[in-house]
């Protein structure tokens, strides 16, 4: 991915925060001369900051577990909100006319080697961590895995495969009008703010926190 | 991508509509033993329904134009909103307890061969179509390329490369609780509806239109 320097994000805290806020990753792999992408909610394990990992799981019937081998290099993409930017948002349109449309978005790219894990103890722990991380944020009365009958969850645990990606490279491309003069930047924030399109107001919010 | 039959979408009108509503595509390519992804707003050209194409452009300084060759197979992914689904949303939690969390999302995967276009006449036409498609939807007073000084737009047109993907395969994975009993489906719609997280309310809206 080509990243102009003004959009490039390398601060690990910012990148980890982004993944935690946008955990549905696009896992891209290449095998048998074919590009494949699988959409997986990831848990970011930052227990050891020298060995940060993405952890997830897929159904055993998902062919990815056979097409991919331990050690295969994969790319995982995390997406923030995105929006079309009209030249009408820029005050400088009325001054010079030298404006064109663009698109604002933010993504984080992670590269690393994948490994699969079939141990039910690992999978159980992973599912607990993943569940608790989301329940604690979104639910006033958090559901816990122990709320379901053990026989039922055991059956489901046996139907999935764990996977882990040791992060070797991580970079963000936060393309959010940082290349624009302040007046035009603020014009974009205003232009998107009251949009009926929820993604557009999310980008506006993000831009207010970004500068 | 493994797609359970209940989530699989093959209707071209639905898939084309989805791309028009979520035009920022993730173009994934493979070259020099490396997976690369570039984020591009696409224009879907449905002029000839037997030869539907994705059309976009990248900066000339983007190395993708050199790493990729005409005819290379690529994958383009389009993303809808996504949301964590808490077991608390399911009325059946209180009846059987046999519920676990999941994630709802919708994606469209397009496969095809990429070709690059350096002709300024093609690029100009493409930028006009792309711009008009967005301005007409979002702006009460649509901006048009002719509003900018010709010298200025000519310079920008010279700085980009056009690209086109002839669609060879297209499929959707709309994972939106269609595998759940009606009561639980409606519980998810309700649970996400009034969320402060805009993506969650977008998924609820989508589910109301989907069933």
Q: What is the pLDDT of residues A14-61, one digit of tens each?
A: 999 999 999 999 999 999 899 999 999 999 999 999 999 999 999 999
Would you say residue B112 lies in a domain?
A: yes
Pick from B192, B19, B28: nearest CA to B104: B192
Average pLDDT over residues B201-210: 92
pLDDT at B196: 86
Chain A residue numbers touching B95 (CB-CB < 8 A): none
A63 and B2 within 8 Å at the Cβ level: the answer is: yes
Which of B:4-23 have CB within 8 Å of A?
none
Which of A:29-88 have CB within 8 Å of B?
29-30, 35-39, 41, 58-59, 61-64, 73-75, 77, 79, 81-82, 84, 86-88
| B102 token code pair | 């999941």
Task: Give me chain A's average pLDDT, please.
Answer: 96
Pick from A83, A82, A88, A86: nearest CA to A101: A86
Average pLDDT over residues B110-119: 97
What CATH number is given to the structural domain containing B96?
2.30.110.10
**Is B92 in CB contact (< 8 Å) with chain A?**
no
Average pLDDT over residues B72-94: 97
pLDDT at A211: 55
User: pLDDT at residue B210 above 80?
Assistant: no
Domain, as residue range, for B13: 5-203
Pick from B9, B100, B114: nearest CA to A143: B100
Option in A2, A86, A97 nearest B138 (CB)? A86
pLDDT at A210: 67
Task: Give me chain B's average pLDDT, please.
Answer: 96
In this structure, the number of other CB atoms found within 10 A of the CB of residue A144 comes to 11
pLDDT at A69: 94
**Is B152 in CB contact (< 8 Å) with chain A?**
yes
Option in B34, B173, B198 nearest A202 (CB)? B198
**Domains of chain A: total:** 1
Would you say residue B176 lies in a domain?
A: yes
User: pLDDT at residue A196 above 90?
Assistant: no
Would you say residue A197 lies in a domain?
A: no
B99 and A148 within 8 Å at the Cβ level: the answer is: yes
State the first-to-last Cα distance of chain A, in angstroms, to the nearest integer.
23
B77 and A37 within 8 Å at the Cβ level: the answer is: yes
User: pLDDT at residue B70 above 90?
Assistant: yes
Weakest mean pLDDT among A34-38, B129-133, B206-210: B206-210
User: pLDDT at residue A100 above 90?
Assistant: yes
Which of B:158-177 have CB within 8 Å of A?
173
The confidence band for B209, taking pLDDT boundaries of 50, 70 and 90, is confident
**Is B157 in CB contact (< 8 Å) with chain A?**
no
Rounded to 10°, the helix B150-158/B120-138 angle is 110
**Is B179 in CB contact (< 8 Å) with chain A?**
no
Would you say residue A186 lies in a domain?
A: no
B63 and A2 within 8 Å at the Cβ level: the answer is: yes
Average pLDDT over residues B70-98: 97
A131 to chain B: closest CA residue: B101
Would you say residue B211 lies in a domain?
A: no
φ/ψ (deg, to 5) at A47: -55, -45
pLDDT at A194: 80
Would you say residue B208 lies in a domain?
A: no
A41 and B84 within 8 Å at the Cβ level: the answer is: yes
Would you say residue A81 lies in a domain?
A: yes
Chain B residue numbers touching A73 (CB-CB < 8 A): 34-35
To the nearest whole Å, the CA of A58 is away from the closest chain B CA by 10
**Is B98 in CB contact (< 8 Å) with chain A?**
yes
Q: What is the pLDDT of residues B18-61, one digit of tens each?
A: 999 999 999 999 998 999 999 999 999 999 999 999 999 999 99
Weakest mean pLDDT among A69-83, A160-174, B76-90, B189-203: B189-203
Would you say residue A82 lies in a domain?
A: yes
To the nearest whole Å, the CA of B44 is away from the closest chain A CA by 16
A58 to chain B: closest CA residue: B2
């Amino acid at each position: 991915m080509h990243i102009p320097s003004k959009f490039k994000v390398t601060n690990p805290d910012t990148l980890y925060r982004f993944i935690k806020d946008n955990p549905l990753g696009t896992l891209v792999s290449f095998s048998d001369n074919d590009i494949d992408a699988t959409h997986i909610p990831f848990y970011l394990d930052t227990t050891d900051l020298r060995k940060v990992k993405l952890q997830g799981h897929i159904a055993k019937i998902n062919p990815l577990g056979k097409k991919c081998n331990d050690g295969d290099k994969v790319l995982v993409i995390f997406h923030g909100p995105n929006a079309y930017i009209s030249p009408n948002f820029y005050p400088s349109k009325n001054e010079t006319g030298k404006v064109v449309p663009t698109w604002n978005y933010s993504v984080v790219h992670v590269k690393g080697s994948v490994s699969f894990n079939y141990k039910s103890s690992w999978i159980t722990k992973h599912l607990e961590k993943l569940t608790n991380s989301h329940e604690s944020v979104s639910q006033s009365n958090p559901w816990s895995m122990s709320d379901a009958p053990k026989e039922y969850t055991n059956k489901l645990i046996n139907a999935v495969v764990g996977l882990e990606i040791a992060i070797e490279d991580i970079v963000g491309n936060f393309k959010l009008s940082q290349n624009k003069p302040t007046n035009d930047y603020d014009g974009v924030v205003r232009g998107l703010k009251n949009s009926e399109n929820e993604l557009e107001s999310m980008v506006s919010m993000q831009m207010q926190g970004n500068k």
